[in-house]
């Protein structure tokens, strides 16, 4: 059986800071996590229309961990035009 590590809040914060320093050193907001997942980790993000509605699942990974399947219903992209 695999031992699952238990991390304190501080441990998680440190790991998150290390991750961001390595994969998002600019510290710009928002963090482009999709780009990090796809380009740095080489994991495909695959949208599936109706996944949550039909199966009550927001997303899941493939057995080989090469794909992340996500619900594609109701995704709203908002563009903020600051006038520049």
Residues 48-80: pLDDT tens digits?
Answer: 999 999 999 999 999 999 999 999 875 545 445
pLDDT the model gives residue 78: 46
Is residue 66 within 8 Å of 45, Cβ to Cβ? Answer: no
Mean pLDDT (the chain) is: 88
pLDDT the model gives residue 54: 92
pLDDT the model gives residue 84: 44
Of the chain, the percentage scoring pLDDT greater than 70 comes to 86
CA distance 63 to 42: 15
Question: Model pTM?
Answer: 0.69
Phi then psi for 14, rounded to 5 degrees? -65, -45
């Amino acid at each position: 059986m695999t031992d699952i590590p238990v991390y304190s809040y501080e441990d998680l914060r440190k790991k998150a800071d290390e991750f961001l320093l390595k994969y998002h050193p600019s510290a710009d907001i928002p963090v482009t996590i999709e780009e990090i997942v796809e380009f740095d980790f080489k994991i495909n993000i695959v949208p599936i229309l109706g996944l949550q509605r039909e199966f009550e699942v927001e997303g899941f990974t493939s057995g080989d961990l090469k794909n992340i399947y996500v619900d594609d219903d109701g995704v709203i992209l908002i563009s903020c035009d600051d006038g520049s």
